[in-house]
Structure 1
Amino acid sequence: MSELSIYDFDLIMADGSKLLMSAFKGKVILIVNTASNCTFNKQLYQLQELYSKYSDKLVIIGVPCNQFGAQEILPNEKIIERYKENFNVTFPLHEKSVVNGKKQLPLYTYLKNEKKSLLGFKGLKWNFEKFLINQQGEVVKRYSTYVLPPSIEKDILELI
């Protein structure tokens, strides 16, 4: 495991602001790579439901990504607009980023080193893979695209 902590990362959000992960100490965090044109985009509604329900104890961070099937082609300003208008998203959105490969977001290097996929892979396979982090900052679960947000609720409840 890494000497780094989730709280060591500073993120650049889609609106250009800086978000310090250390601000979320004591909260459960769910980080998801997203794409608004993906066939799995209905998960954005489901993620928003979880966020609305538990926002006092849960932070969801969406990381828009165009790496899988070029399904997030909009620039950051338009991504924010689309997510709000089409999916009612109010949870924080990172700037559009790369989540696999040499240019991947350092946060994703950390997440994938901390928790491999069920089959032991580090790399993400598609949009809407999810990482669940407990209140102590430990990456405790990783979910594939096919695990829908309502299925994760029980794991979130165990942590909050």
Structure 2
Amino acid sequence: MFRKIIATDHSKTTVIIRLMTGVIFLSEGIQKFMFPALRGAGRFEKIGFIYPEFLGGLVGAFEIVCGILFILGLLTRLASLPLITIMATAIITTKFDILANDGFWSMMHAGRTDWAMLLGSLFLLIKGGGKWSLDKILLKNG
């Protein structure tokens, strides 16, 4: 089972997607704790979630931990699951309103980072960490 979770291909370029998504998730997670009124609990409260303080911390922690795992290429597929959930929820809760009120192109513009992070995470779920990842090293040594 563990081998299936860390399985990856030999792609050298997957590191680009890992670094792009990992650094952004790490940064966003840290900001949820540094600026809770704007990026963390306050944002969740504005959207209308119950328990915004809890959710702000939980989402921030997942973004930090999973962002680091993406950067390292460690448990890449497993780390992608909560991040896919976070990004799908972000799009549904914040971008559909823009779509309804301002139209498709406004929604696409406002959600460009959300879509990139969702698709980057989906890519890593499918491909794994790639050649230059700790997953690949564990797979060789396991």
Same fold (TM over 0.5): no
- Of structures 1 and 2, the one with the larger relative CO (CA 8 A, separation 6+) is 2
More strand by share: 1
**Structure label with greater radius of gyration:** 2
Q: If the TM-score is normalised by the length of the shorter chain, which range does it land in?
A: under 0.3
More helix by share: 2
TM-score using structure 1 length:
0.22
